[in-house]
Amino acid sequence: MIPEKPIHTRTLYQGKIISLALRDSRLQDGTLVKREIISTPGAVVIVPLTNRREVRLVKQFRVAAETWVIELPAGMLEPNEDPALAAPRELLEETGDRAATWRYLGKFYTAPGILDECLHLYLATDLTPGPNHPEFDEHIKVMTVPWSEALAMIQRGEIEDAKTIAGLTHAGLRLNLPFG
């Protein structure tokens, strides 16, 4: 049973990649509450793993954090886009890699208390490297690190991006890769 019922939702802002809505809902006891909801089309996250168990990461300048962030390759979905089609595009764009083998590892939400964004996680293997093709306003440096080093980077606090920590953890568990 859903503990609250939406009554009315109005869009406060509609941007290129997000919208912000204010929703009035009624709780089971009749109490009215207001919910702020940020919506996106979702995104894909890719764990590119070489045959030598190295992970391809990107170091990207992130404007909101005002710093360089080490991440797995990822990208927003176009509205109603199939994530399986977006993942190869984003891998090629950010790393220059093409993968012969793709495996869907599942999905997860980034901040479901306020954000409906769903991230679809893919494993990309049998990689063929090439030059990356970032968008005109993206600043990306490609990194290749051994699996154990990627995990050590999380432990040392060098990888602070939640989707990357979740993606590497999930992939490691699914593939029975060593954690330390």
Q: How far apart are CA 119 and CA 135, in angstroms?
A: 20
Catalytic residues: 138
Tell whether 9 and 98 lie within a shared domain: no
- On whether residue 25 sits in a domain, the answer given is yes
Q: H or E stretch including 51?
A: none
Q: How many domains does the chain have?
A: 2
Q: Which domain holds residue 30?
A: 4-39
- On whether residue 180 sits in a domain, the answer given is no
CATH number for the domain spanning 169: value is 3.90.79.10
User: For each of the chain's 180 residues, which pLDDT tens digit applies?
Assistant: 899 999 999 999 999 999 999 999 999 999 999 999 999 999 999 999 999 999 999 999 999 999 999 999 999 999 899 999 999 999 999 999 999 999 999 999 999 999 999 999 999 999 999 998 888 888 899 999 999 999 999 999 999 999 999 999 999 999 888 886
What distance lies between CA 147 and its chain's CA centroid? 19
Tell whether 9 and 26 lie within a shared domain: yes
CB 24 within 8 A of CB 14: no
Q: How far apart are CA 67 and CA 158, in angstroms?
A: 12
